[in-house]
Structure 1
Amino acid sequence: MPAWILPLLAAFALLSASPAHARALVARMASVSTPVATLQGVQVRLDWPADAEVGELRITAQRADAPDLGQHFAALSWRCPLRRDGQGGWACAGELRQGRGAPLRLELALPPGRVSAALSGAGGSRLALRRDDAAPDLFAIDITRVPVAWAEALARRAWPGVRLGDGRLGGHLELRVPDAAPMRLTGELALDGGAFDSADGTQAGAGLGARLGIDWLAAEAGPQLAIDGELLGGELLFGSGYFVLPATPVPVRLRAHGVADGWALDAFLARDPGVLEVQGRADLDGAGVRALALSLRSAEAARLPERYLSGWLGQAGLTGLALTGGFDADVEIIDGALAGFALRARGLDVAAPDGRFRFQGLDGDVRLVSEGRVDSELRWQSAAIGAIPFGPARLPWRSSDGELHLREGVGIAILDGRLDIPALRLRPPGSKGPLLVEAALGVESLDMATLASALGLPAFPGTLSGHIPSARYVGDRLDFEGGVVARAFDGEVRVSSLAMERPFGVAPTLLADIALDGLDLQALTGVLEVGGISGRLHGRIDGLRLVDWEPAAFDAELHTEPRRGVRQRISQRAVQDISSVGDASFTASLQGQLLALFDDFGYRRIGISCRLANGVCTMAGLQPRGSGFVIVEGAGLPRLDIVGYNRRVDWKTLVERVVAAGSGEVSPVFD
């Protein structure tokens, strides 16, 4: 039986008149009404043989309805032995059934001036009810280990579609049903191991504990609800929000009233001492949150990710985010869109997992308004994206029309150079679309050696400069207009078509086209610690795609071009390294034994290409030669050509060979 109160009230209605001495008495009633319930198709049968001390009472009802309690039943039946109690009253106890459901035990006592009843079931559950003639509109209800599921119909009055699961209730309630006033339910309840979920699965709870004071008024204009008490552990899911409540008490307070299409939460408060305090008000309808004013206060934010933020952080790919320090935040939502926001940071540190980004010493505030104009300022002491550190920064904000703008340009020290942000615009998600961030960026004289070291690469000399007139982040994708030019190895590296997917999420992906112009090969091969090559390198890397900073696809072609006054020579070790990396061989115009007498060789051209897809690099060179392709075309004496034969190379194997060549693990061998 899913209900917990209607069977008792129905029994009172059916036994409103005391039985008399009779062999058999049958009464049929089309309808029986009480202040709480209405019963249809009622039949009462009393069998009491002459001179017997005990009679048998049978009561059935085709239908019973208590709309204020959300209770509706069909095929109710109760059968019990009826006897005098020796005090001028009556007592009866027996099985109560609804249809073919499992029976409960209903005990009813009618001493003079009072009515009491108790409904009990499996697991020690018991629901007791009393009423005195001195206060006929007051029912006292005692609850002991009652299954939470018994209250599902009443819960659906406040939350349509909710389904109650495990858990037990205990406590004391008073139900008032005055003739000229609305029904009122007050009292205290204790919950242990409670569980619930919604029909669409977007809201759920498990292992919930609570001690709550409840005041429910079934007013004509809509129900009114007041709750005061504390939560005692458990887990909650609301949409993307997942909360793990502490075992220590969390005081809560709620004031709400029903409206035509939902609920108005006039005030609510929850306080996890030392971690988070939440208070505010809200309007809810069938579609969700219509309006919300929320205030958050955290003196120490270290426990917030684990207890209250893990759902949203997981969705953003930031599981494991670390917070320290304090903050205050105020949020206003109207018609499902962000209308106002204010964040005040107090020595707040934020660190993403795997070192993706960090901000230390965040102080100041950021304020967003949908009407009027307001200025604010946020500062940090240091920051980093990946292994690239940033110096202190000051961000002066201005908000109007629901957007944030920098009210003046910002310069930030980075890698012995400078990052300039002359413009930045931020539009939060809402009626105008998803989150949008637009910025203009410039970098000036970033030290390439420091950058390479931060990225775990060889220390390339040179500087990085460039200007991006527009960077646009929307739909978890970051696109750049313009390009970046790195001046390194006495040449240029130009990056264009630059974009990032999921820049702050799981498996960030970088897209770019890269052009190389006139790099000094002698300096480049010296940094890579492979055999020396002199000359000038040109080429392209189109369609570069890095997934989690590992190459997944590209179409690359590198070649040399002669320049007046620049020698083109290749060392013995470079010959061996190129041969070992590309499964190539070399042919020469002299006997192989004589090649060891030369330190280096002249060359006319060097060229190689690689198209990476599905972990395999399809390779080519300057021109075909037999079943292979020419990588190095020699010049002069001794003339030496290097020819590659393996056109499909596993990318990981190729990288391992390059690393081995750079570490000097390849020994020169001459045939």
Structure 2
Amino acid sequence: MSRAILRLLLGCLLTVPLLATGIAHARTAQARIARVAMAVATMSDVQVRLEWPAGSPQGLLELRAGRVEAPDLGYRYRNLTWRCPLSRDRDRWRCEGDVRSGNGRPLRLALDLDSDRIDARLGQGGGTLALQRLSATPDLTRIDLTRVPVAWAQALLAQAWSQGRLNAGTATGRLDVIAPAKAPLHVSGPLQLQSMAFDTADGTIAGENIGAQVDIDADIAATTRVGIEGQLHGGEMLFGNAYLSLQKRHVDLSVQAVQNAGEGWQLPRLAWNDPGILRVDASAALDPQLNLRTLDLRAHSGNLAPLRDGYLTGFLGMAGLGELQLGGAADARLRIDRGELREADFTVASATIDDPRGRFRFDGLEGDVRFSSTRTLESELRWSGGALHGLAFGAATLPLRSADGVLQLRQPVSMPLLGGRAGFDHLQIKPPSAGTGLEIRFGLELEQLDVAQLSTALGWPAFTGQLTGHIPEARYADDRLDFEGGLAMQLFGGTVQVSSLAMERPFGVAPTLSSDIAFDDIDLESLTGVLGFGAITGKLDGRIADLRLVDWQPVAFTSYLQTDAAAAKAAGVRQRVSQRAVQDLSSVSDASFVSGLQAQLIGFFDDFGYRQIGIACRLVDEVCEMEGLGSAGPGFIIVEGSGLPRLSVVGFNRRVDWPTLLERLVAASSGDVKPVFE
């Protein structure tokens, strides 16, 4: 049985005329009424039965209604029954008993009336709804609520919001209901809400533990008008991706809303003031499903630091930035029409944006970003410095222009980075539109970045060299970043080329990077010296194809590294491998020395000549499938010796656990290995 306010109204107002027909000095009186119509409701198939034994101080009243309907308020009942002992004191009548509808839990209805007034009280548990109506003002009904469950208003809510569900909370206050015959139903008065909870079946809208003190002024008719003024305090709310956490704060709220029958809501005024954190003034329009159709919004935050926890965690969490730290002040203006962004203006002052996980940081943000889908606008955004994945960059200014619905740079921009410069030769940002998501395109230029500084910042071995590259076009869309072109590094006397570079969720959870890497003429003496991997002289070529990193850890690749004898000869470099390097190679790859007749002499030599060195690994499911220069019985050749003593290294384990391999590499770089002779 619905626990609605209308139950009390109907019980009180419709019983009055029936009592007059049933009371008599007789044992039983009955009446049947086909239909009773009022301003807000009708009752059909009404039966009244009164049993009053002669000489008794009271009788038993029973009222039944086959159907009760209040379509403007959304209430419809079947088989409504009220039984109560009826008593009379002069011209004053009293009756109190249970009201039932179907198999629902009963409510307690008490009626007290005379020729001047009607007083009624409806209760269940700790909640009470009291009604008063004076004969001098028949159109006015006053309703006092004391801890009334908000679920009693579910049917009324459904008239305005069909998907909404009231799950918990109570209401206390006083409402005046004016129901004139030829005018809209008018409801006004103060309400206090406690511990209110609501949601929708799909979970996209929800609220928990919300408190409020508001004044309501509403006209309910074919055109419904609602005004709400007051405060919200505490609670959490979810609207799509927007998550609001008021904690214990008090927020001033003002809403003016209009709805025509069968249409959506117009919100000519929507004001929100969370003092010191966020102030919003807006107007909006919603379709019948409460989807946003138009919005004109102005917002100001004098302190961005608490804005994250109060309002931004939903949006930031989707991007993996739930811990983002903000500072400074900001103003924003948005205009949305037909669900698409038409105008935007975002201004910051002395702002900072810092990701505690070290992915990026911007200091001293100043200026504004202006966008329009119909006009040409210019703006400028500046910062004093920052960092990207631990790589510090310098000050820069972005001169921006908005035209034809695209925000773009007016001219190339560069900034200091790692002893060189990095910048954009172009940048275009296209907001979501016509069913497509955000799209960003840019060209990236890197000029003479110091690899030594890069190695220090990323915790790599002490590599040296320069990084230079040009990516003519990069595209970010659907949380994926794809690069055209590649990067080139001058490293250890050779070159390293990076191509087919792409990233998924670059700033989100578990970012994924894929690329191909090619090595050419790397000086092995310099490389092994930095890695602490023994000493090898010569030149190295190689390729790492289909490299895939998840959260910056390798999960798949196919690699092959091989020495280049021709390049070494051209450079006048001898091909030699130290005994320490042989030890490291054998320990890492489960290999053994194969030396033929010279086995007893190996320990007397510091290094050995070699013809070729080659090793391959295909990483799949944390297992490295190993190969070398060629087969040697059940094994594969890693080092093919040359000269006397002629030493070769052969690997026998073709499947090596990747974590174990990494541990061996660390041990080899520290010198904690011993040779294996066979």
- Aligned counterpart for 2:310 among listed residues 307, 311, 326: 307
- Aligned counterpart for 2:271 among listed residues 259, 269, 272: 269
Cα offset, 1:50, TM superposition: 2.1
**How do 1:276-355 residues align onto structure 2 when only pairs under 5 Å count?**
276-287=278-289, 288-355=291-358
Partner of 2:637: 630
Cα offset, 1:524, TM superposition: 0.6
Superposition TM-score, scaled by structure 1 size: 0.97
Matching of residue 516 in structure 1 with residue 519 in structure 2: yes
- Aligned counterpart for 1:145 among listed residues 130, 144, 147: 147
Cα offset, 1:318, TM superposition: 1.6
- Aligned counterpart for 1:556 among listed residues 556, 559, 567: 559
SS in 2 for 1:166: strand
Q: Distance in 1 between matches of 2:487 and 2:5?
A: 73
SS in 2 for 1:431: coil
SS in 1 for 2:582: helix
Partner of 2:85: 81
- Aligned counterpart for 1:61 among listed residues 57, 62, 65: 65
Partner of 2:646: 639
Q: Distance in 2 between matches of 1:420 and 1:531?
A: 39
**How do 1:467-546 residues align onto structure 2 when only pairs under 5 Å count?**
467-546=470-549
SS in 1 for 2:636: strand
Partner of 1:206: 208
Partner of 1:621: 628
Partner of 1:9: 9
Q: Distance in 2 between matches of 1:30 and 1:364?
A: 73
Cα offset, 1:18, TM superposition: 5.0
- Which amino acid in 1 is paired with 2:46? V
- Aligned counterpart for 2:415 among listed residues 412, 415, 421: 412
Partner of 1:223: 224
- Which amino acid in 2 is paired with 1:129? L
Q: Distance in 2 between matches of 1:611 and 1:596?
A: 33
| Deviations 1:551-596 (CA, angstroms, capped at 9, x unpaired) | 1111100001123211111111111111111111112255444323
Partner of 2:170: 168
Q: Distance in 2 between matches of 1:138 and 1:129?
A: 10
Partner of 1:192: 194
2:587–2:675 CA contact under 8 A, matched in 1: no
1:593–1:670 CA contact under 8 A, matched in 2: no
- Which amino acid in 2 is paired with 1:641? S
1:4–1:127 CA contact under 8 A, matched in 2: no
Cα offset, 1:21, TM superposition: 2.3
2:593–2:677 CA contact under 8 A, matched in 1: no
Q: Distance in 1 between matches of 2:469 and 2:9?
A: 80
1:3–1:153 CA contact under 8 A, matched in 2: no
1:595–1:670 CA contact under 8 A, matched in 2: no
**How do 1:359-378 residues align onto structure 2 when only pairs under 5 Å count?**
359-378=362-381
- Which amino acid in 2 is paired with 1:32? V
| Deviations 1:196-226 (CA, angstroms, capped at 9, x unpaired) | 1113221111111111111110143x10000
| Deviations 1:328-359 (CA, angstroms, capped at 9, x unpaired) | 11222221222221111111111224111111
Q: Distance in 1 between matches of 2:89 and 2:152?
A: 31
| Deviations 1:467-494 (CA, angstroms, capped at 9, x unpaired) | 1110111111111111111011111101
Q: Distance in 2 between matches of 1:461 and 1:529?
A: 15
| Deviations 1:499-533 (CA, angstroms, capped at 9, x unpaired) | 11111111111111111110111111111111111
- Aligned counterpart for 1:581 among listed residues 559, 579, 588: 588
Moved more, 19-28 or 543-552: 19-28
Q: Distance in 1 between matches of 2:89 and 2:599?
A: 121
Cα offset, 1:81, TM superposition: 1.4
- Which amino acid in 1 is paired with 2:87? R
Cα offset, 1:388, TM superposition: 1.4
Partner of 2:38: 34
- Which amino acid in 2 is paired with 1:256? A
- Structure 1: state its 5+ residue gaps: none
- Which amino acid in 1 is paired with 2:54? A
| Deviations 1:21-41 (CA, angstroms, capped at 9, x unpaired) | 231221111100111211111
Moved more, 459-468 or 269-278: 269-278
SS in 2 for 1:68: coil
SS in 2 for 1:255: strand
Partner of 1:134: 136
Matching of residue 48 in structure 1 with residue 83 in structure 2: no
Fraction of identical pairs, as percent: 50
- Which amino acid in 1 is paired with 2:55? D
SS in 1 for 2:108: strand
Equivalent residues, number: 668
Cα offset, 1:643, TM superposition: 0.7
- Which amino acid in 1 is paired with 2:97? G
| Deviations 1:336-395 (CA, angstroms, capped at 9, x unpaired) | 222221111111111224111111211111111011100011111112221112111111
Partner of 1:239: 240
1:318–1:353 CA contact under 8 A, matched in 2: no
Q: Distance in 1 between matches of 2:307 and 2:333?
A: 16
Moved more, 279-288 or 263-272: 279-288
- Which amino acid in 1 is paired with 2:99? L
Cα offset, 1:49, TM superposition: 2.1
1:576–1:666 CA contact under 8 A, matched in 2: yes
1:275–1:298 CA contact under 8 A, matched in 2: yes
Partner of 1:609: 616
1:391–1:412 CA contact under 8 A, matched in 2: yes
Matching of residue 661 in structure 1 with residue 668 in structure 2: yes
Cα offset, 1:666, TM superposition: 1.8
Q: Distance in 2 between matches of 1:545 and 1:231?
A: 49
Cα offset, 1:2, TM superposition: 2.1
| Deviations 1:403-457 (CA, angstroms, capped at 9, x unpaired) | 1010111011111011121101010112162111111111010001111111111
Cα offset, 1:4, TM superposition: 2.8
- Which amino acid in 2 is paired with 1:39? M
For the structure 1 residues 668 and 628, does the alpha-carbon distance in structure 2 shift closer, same or farther, using more than 3 Å as the test? closer
- Which amino acid in 1 is paired with 2:331? D
- Aligned counterpart for 1:92 among listed residues 92, 95, 104: 95
- Structure 2: state its 5+ residue gaps: none
- Which amino acid in 2 is paired with 1:519? I
1:22–1:47 CA contact under 8 A, matched in 2: no
Q: Distance in 2 between matches of 1:514 and 1:8?
A: 78
Moved more, 312-321 or 448-457: 312-321
For the structure 1 residues 7 and 670, does the alpha-carbon distance in structure 2 shift closer, same or farther, using more than 3 Å as the test? closer
Q: Distance in 1 between matches of 2:137 and 2:202?
A: 44
| Deviations 1:3-52 (CA, angstroms, capped at 9, x unpaired) | 33222222312312653423122111110011121111111122222222
Superposition TM-score, scaled by structure 2 size: 0.96
Cα offset, 1:111, TM superposition: 2.3
Q: Distance in 1 between matches of 2:348 and 2:155?
A: 45
Q: Distance in 2 between matches of 1:404 and 1:138?
A: 58
- Which amino acid in 2 is paired with 1:134? A
Q: Distance in 2 between matches of 1:299 and 1:593?
A: 80
RMSD of the alignment, in Å? 1.5
SS in 2 for 1:16: helix
SS in 1 for 2:347: strand
SS in 2 for 1:660: helix
2:637–2:650 CA contact under 8 A, matched in 1: yes
Cα offset, 1:303, TM superposition: 1.7
Q: Distance in 2 between matches of 1:641 and 1:492?
A: 28
Cα offset, 1:648, TM superposition: 0.6
Partner of 1:25: 29
SS in 2 for 1:317: coil
SS in 2 for 1:305: helix
Q: Distance in 2 between matches of 1:364 and 1:334?
A: 26
Matching of residue 400 in structure 1 with residue 403 in structure 2: yes
- Which amino acid in 1 is paired with 2:559? A
